[in-house]
Structure 1
């Protein structure tokens, strides 16, 4: 580490990380209300889900280019640009009242998050050694979960006042921009070493894992609101509360990641993740009331608390230093292509089997993945 990692640097990186979770779940509680408000638009229930997934496809498409920009022009300029675009695009739903104009704002938000994720991930790789990354990412996972709790619950209460009010929360990053600008520094440029060229080709398993994990995990914010509102007859704030409880367990689990990583391999942590997630999905598939959904939150939260931290840690352990920007862009693309694909891939299942049928099927897929990873580990002797 070329410089001391100060408390303000850590806080700045944690605040930036919370912007990633803010980009999606803040408006989750508004989705059914947006469907009702724009009911005259054909297929609005499906189109309203694009409020979450349009940013994802834009990130998936733009993030590799953002990564090249980060490697070529440094980490900080793209980061600051991302924050400004995040505020402008994210808050557009607060003052725009045309559905398609709001979708355009969500696309701008996607460009912003692509810049933020690639630059901040590269900075973490630049600032910390491997042991330091595990410790920091444990704290980061907890911070993201706590941020998620605040954003999802605030978004739920604001949505009950008006569907557009949650979009105003995207203005918040303006308040911590001065801290970020005054704290972060531009790392020295890295030059490739001979052994790093081989390592880069081994990143594709990380990218594929990121994609398929998010296909499964992003069904929660895109499908659960409709189960709560339309099947279980809950309120918009109920959506936020259920997800917030899951995020609480997310925070507890993420904070323990460094200790878990000291005892288990990346593969073993994935096995634990998918077992917990599959159990939580099964409970949701059998729920007949809002109260029963809360039994699933400990399992869903634990699984989600491990998946992102484990994947990011695995990635940073493998990526060569001089390619952190470009590779971080591809990783972000993998995550968000999975998010975008999730409702598209699952929509036919929802039509034929209903939302709870979908949760039952995917719970089986999650457990099958865990079993496959376990057997592969046994066969390979690891």
Structure 2
């Protein structure tokens, strides 16, 4: 087995531990969206249930609720019982709860299995984030956080497309896709090991923060809040785009799938460039670029009158989100003491899904009264202000270095 102290100088993408962690990252997008193409078929299959319309629509966001509630607890467990056991148990639970929809007899039990799936995702994401910090540092860590976003985007695209094909055969078949995670277990079992358990005295280094030092907590809190807000903004796309396109007279099912596919491909591509761009412009610069691209995307969406413009807007939003997302993980792992990386990973994970859960709660009332123009225009203005703030922060940092 490879250990956490293995220091062979090989590219991060050739490190078997990194490959195992990227496999884990690809599961997070699969959790929610894989069964989306099967929802109409499931509603028809269980038409005898008086709550079928509601329950089928809750199957996709159900895991997010569990992740938001359990991820901080998973973070505490990762620091106390180890990352390896948490990750392996999470993947096994992911397979069992994800595939359960193949055989469960009714919608309420399928809904319950989706809540359990969210617990599995919380375990996987929390352990995976902590292990990135344990195994890698510096440029390698930045490269891996970028590759994670690519794995989530490209993996999600493959899983959703596959689900669309098999859902045409049977609405239950997309649940079988969760079984693919079982193929990842052998590599994870071989290469994922816990780092040595260090005492607080053993962790501390001259000039470093101790676990009892509180100065890391406030910056981490601000980072978590910013990540939650970023995900709330980004999730306007999957939650509201289909209704916007329907109001514009498009075939919303085809156009939404195509636009989200463009978004994922753009995000996956730009995430591969994350390390190079971050090295060139720094963290403040990459936040400015990312939020600027997202602002441009929502502005184009506001003004879009052609299909091509909608695709350009989706590509810009996907690229911007892919640039800022890895920085949250990298900065959090830099801030948190080694023995608190599990907790930091759990809180970060929770903030992603809380932002996703809150997104339609905030955006739907805006659409109901002023309309899509105010939602997209207001979002573009907010992102432009965030771009300006990041630019100013970058300028202030450069002045301090002089």
Give the structure-1-normalised TM-score.
0.89
Cα RMSD over matched residues?
A: 2.8
Q: How far does residue 329 in structure 1 lie from its aligned partner after superposition?
A: 0.9
Aligned equivalent of 1:331, options 336, 344, 348: 348
| Counterpart-to-counterpart distance in 2, 1:67 and 1:260 | 30
* Range that drifts further, 241-250 or 66-75: 241-250
Deviation at 1:375, TM superposition (A): 4.1
Name the CA shift for 1:376/1:200 in 2 (closer, same or farther; >3 Å).
closer
Cross-structure match for 1:343: 360
How much does 1:301 deviate?
Answer: 1.9
Q: What does the per-residue CA deviation read over 1:62-115, in whole Å, with 9 as the maximum and x for residues that have no partner?
A: 111111111111111111111122122223344446333332222111100110
1:195 maps to: 209
Q: Kindly report which structure 2 residues correspond to 1:117-156, keeping only aligned pairs within 5 A, or say none.
A: 117-156=125-164
Aligned twin of 1:169: 177
Contact 2:46 2:107 (C-alpha < 8 Å) held by counterparts? yes
CA shift, 1:293, in A, is 2.1
Q: 1:153 to 1:203 in 2, by over 3 A?
A: same
- Counterparts in 2 of 1:162 and 1:146: CA distance versus 1, 3 Å: same
Measure, in 2, the Cα distance between the counterparts of 1:351 and 1:159: 32
Name the CA distance, whole Å, in 2 between partners of 1:169 and 1:137: 25
**Residue 114 (structure 1) aligned with residue 130 (structure 2):** no
The 5-angstrom pairing of residues 286-297 of structure 1 reads 286-288=303-305, 290-297=307-314
Is the radius of gyration larger for structure 1 or structure 2? 2
Matched, 1:315 2:332: yes
Summarize the Cα distance change of 1:210–1:137 in structure 2 as closer, same or farther, 3 Å threshold: same
Call closer, same or farther: CA 1:7–1:204 in 2, change over 3 Å.
Answer: same
SS of aligned partner of 2:262: helix
Are residue 157 (structure 1) and residue 157 (structure 2) matched?
A: no
Q: Provide the aligned length of Structure 1 versus Structure 2.
A: 381
Deviations 1:342-374 (A, max 9, x none): 112222123224456533332232223223333
Alignment partner, residue 11 of structure 2: none
Give ranges in structure 1 of 5+ residues lacking alignment: none
Comparing 312-321 and 216-225, the one that deviates more: 216-225
Distance 2:308 2:173 in 1: 27
Q: 1:229-240 alignment to 2 at 5 Å? A: 231-234=248-251, 236=253, 238-240=255-257
CA pair 103-324 structure 1, distance change in 2 beyond 3 A: same
Structure 2 residue runs without a partner (length 5+): 9-13
Offset of 1:161 from its aligned partner? 4.3
What is the distance in 2 between the residues matched to 1:8 and 1:180? 9
Match of 2:375 in 1: 358
After TM superposition, the structure 1 = structure 2 runs for residues 1-382 of structure 1, keeping only pairs within 5 Å, are 2-4=5-7, 7-31=15-39, 44=53, 49-96=57-104, 98-192=106-200, 193=204, 195-196=209-210, 197-201=213-217, 202-228=219-245, 231-234=248-251, 236=253, 238-288=255-305, 290-355=307-372, 357-375=374-392, 377-378=394-395, 381=399
Alpha-carbon offset, residue 330 of structure 1:
1.1
| Structure 1 residues 159 and 179: CA distance shift in structure 2, 3 A | same
Distance 1:140 1:379, change over 3 A: closer
Indicate the larger mover: 235-244 or 213-222. Answer: 235-244
Q: Contact 2:46–2:106 at 8 Å: present in 1 too?
A: no
Matched residue SS, 2:141: helix
CA contact (8 A) 1:279 1:296 kept: yes
Per mean C-alpha deviation after superposition, the further-off stretch among 112-121 and 200-209 is 200-209
